[in-house]
Amino acid sequence: MRKSVQGKADVVKRSTKTTTKAGPGKKKPRKPRNTAKKQVVGRQSAGNKTLLIGLEVLGLATVAVTAVMVMLGYSAGWFSDVRFFASLLPFAVFMLGFIVVAAVLLIGWWRFRKWLLNRSTLLPSALSLVLAMGCLVIQGQFSHGFENFRALIGGRQEDRRINLSHQVYAAYRRCDQTQMQKMIERAQQYAPALKEAAQAYGIDQNLLQGVAAAESSFLPRESKDGGLGLFQITQVPETVLERVGRRLQVDKVTLTDPRHNAFVAAAVLKYYLAEMNDNLFMGLLAYNIGPANGGLRFIMKQYGATNFVTIQPYLQQLPRDYPIRVLSYSLAFRLWQQEGRLLAYEEGKNALRIQHIGIPGLKSGD
């Protein structure tokens, strides 16, 4: 009897174990970890693909924008006329042809891209970035095209800037290079002070050197009209002197000290540039005129002038040409700094080289 009961108990235990294994409380089998890994890898792959496509589009866009600006610039120079058959119609045909060629190249790239992808997923984006870098490297060779493009878009304002720029280039061309070189050599002893002052007030060092050259030819002295030192400082706004003193950490600014003189000049130039909304020609003109008789703003209001071109006819010869002379000297210092010599403007391709280097401090809005 006991054996029978014991046998039944064993059967119940086995049944319970079986029920436990097969019952509703049975844990579901875990998903293989490989599935989660595959999802992560898939997301990474999608992110990499998006990045590569973005880089490819960026490279192609850079090439396209550069090509458009260059072609528009050169075509504006080739067809610079107002006659319909001589200029307007050829320009329109040229641009239509450019669009067709661009479309053909885009289709060609799409087909070539498939060939590249068969070899490596990195090749399309890498090649497009290489092409973009090539455009950035060689864009200096198309400076004439970019200048024409800027003139095409800038309208009257850009025409005015180009006109004034060529006045500066012409003034540099007329300079006696022997005398200019001697002046540059004299300037070397004052270079550290001018560099420090230029950096302190965020002004181009070559521009500040040009102002000193126009004012004293780097021969500091006391002039008949009361000008002192390198920059022939005369009347200075009191607030400017106070700021310079605090920056130099001195109780009194000494204008016969070349370093103090340079700091005052940089501060005054910065003051007048801000007053003239950072217009370089107007800022230099205001610096030269100073606060006498109400300054440049009063003169402009009196004659209804709005910029350097419209104010020029109302000024005497010296202040009217002052910005041009300063910038021609600044250009000479820039050339000496970059080329190690003064380039003769009329020799070979020097004119284009000098124009590419550009006038210190001059922006498209001036």
Here the CATH number for the domain that contains residue 181 is 1.10.530.10
Q: Return the amino acid letter for 313.
A: P
Confidence of residue 73 (pLDDT cuts 50, 70, 90): confident
Q: Which residues have CB under 8 Å from 55's CB, separation 6+?
A: 125, 128, 129
In this structure, are 111 and 141 located in the same domain?
yes
In this structure, are 143 and 240 located in the same domain?
no
* 20 falls within a domain: no
* 9 falls within a domain: no
Q: Which comes out higher in pLDDT, residue 173 or 23?
A: 173
* 229 falls within a domain: yes
Residue-wise pLDDT for 219-269, tens only, equals 998 888 788 999 999 888 788 888 899 999 998 889 899 999 999 999 999
In this structure, are 321 and 179 located in the same domain?
yes
Last residue of a domain, one of 93, 121, 155: 155
* 170 falls within a domain: no
* 1 falls within a domain: no
Best CA proximity match to 361, nearest among 247, 266, 288: 266
Give the largest CA-CA distance in the chain. Answer: 141
In this structure, are 135 and 273 located in the same domain?
no
SS (H, E, C) the chain: CHHHHHHHHHHHHHHHHHHHHHCCCCCCCCCCHHHHHHHHHHHHHHHHHHHHHHHHHHHHHHHHHHHHHHHHHHHHHHCCCCCHHHHHHHHHHHHHHHHHHHHHHHHHHHHHHHHHHHHCCCHHHHHHHHHHHHHHHHHHHHHHHHHHHHHHHHHHHHHHHHHHHHHHHHHHHHCCHHHHHHHHHHHHHHHHHHHHHHHHHCCCHHHHHHHHHHHHCCCCEECCCCCEECCCECCCCHHHHHHHHHHHCCCCCCCCCHHHHHHHHHHHHHHHHHHCCCCHHHHHHHHHHCCHHHHHHHHHHHHCCCCHHHHHHHCCHHHHHHHHHHHHHHHHHHHHHHHCCCCCCCCCCHHHHHHHHCCCCCCCCC
Last residue of a domain, one of 125, 155, 185: 155
Place of tokens 């820039």: 334
* 33 falls within a domain: no
308: pLDDT strictly greater than 80: yes
27: pLDDT strictly greater than 90: no
21: pLDDT strictly greater than 60: no
Host domain of residue 97? 44-155
- Could you give the number of structural domains in the chain? 2
Q: Which comes out higher in pLDDT, residue 82 or 265?
A: 265
In this structure, are 274 and 196 located in the same domain?
yes
In this structure, are 246 and 150 located in the same domain?
no
Bridge partners (DSSP) of residue 228 are 222, 233
Confidence of residue 78 (pLDDT cuts 50, 70, 90): confident
* 294 falls within a domain: yes
Q: What is the pLDDT of residue 1?
A: 47
In this structure, are 223 and 340 located in the same domain?
yes
Distances (CA, A) of 205 to 65, 78, 174, 301: 33, 38, 23, 32
* 42-56, 140-154, 327-341: the lowest-pLDDT one: 140-154
Q: What is the pLDDT of residue 364?
A: 59
In this structure, are 136 and 263 located in the same domain?
no
In this structure, are 48 and 150 located in the same domain?
yes
Confidence of residue 19 (pLDDT cuts 50, 70, 90): very low
In this structure, are 199 and 264 located in the same domain?
yes
Mean residue pLDDT across the chain: 84
In this structure, are 202 and 341 located in the same domain?
yes
Q: What is the pLDDT of residue 20?
A: 47
Residue-wise pLDDT for 164-196, tens only, equals 899 999 999 999 989 999 999 999 999 999 999
In this structure, are 133 and 196 located in the same domain?
no
* 244 falls within a domain: yes
- pTM of the full structure: 0.66
